[in-house]
Amino acid sequence: MNSEAFLDKAYHLSFSAGMNHRYHQSREHRWNWADRTAKIIVAILAVAALCLCVVTAQSDHWGWDAVSIVVASLAAIAAVALNVLPFGEWAKTHNALFQRWTDFREEIDAVRFEGDGAPTAIQLELLRAFRNGGAGRPKLVALVG
């Protein structure tokens, strides 16, 4: 393998890692946003239900009773949805994958070709390990340092 082919393969691996890196970053952001939004909605509905309970206790009008029951029901449904749908766990999963792809891309970018000749055996071994999905990949520090 010459230096041009080595750089081309390293670039393609880095590019693919970058695409996966950005994908998981956007998914983490989406699920964090959904988690925060769901928590805010539950809090607002719970406070509104509490306020309506106080109003209903002070008033004899049937309209306040109906509104209080509807808001309390919505608060209960939102609380159940918040506890059943694991938005926070999904965000943590994508954060972990984001971190792994970041580390993988940093390792690929650390394997730079220097010189005019062919790549060294260590560089070729790392590139092969990266192309095979990193299975059995030795640590970069152990090979370089």
Rounded to whole angstroms, the Cα distance separating 10 from 20 reads: 16
Number of H helices, E strands in the chain: 5, 0
pLDDT on residue 52: 84
Share of the chain above pLDDT 90, in %: 21
pLDDT tens for 52-71 read 888 887 888 888 888 888 88
| 95 has pLDDT over 90 | yes
Rounded to whole angstroms, the Cα distance separating 48 from 106 reads: 49
- Sequence spans of domains, the chain: 3-144
Q: Record the pTM.
A: 0.67
Nearest to 127 by CA among 137, 118, 117: 137
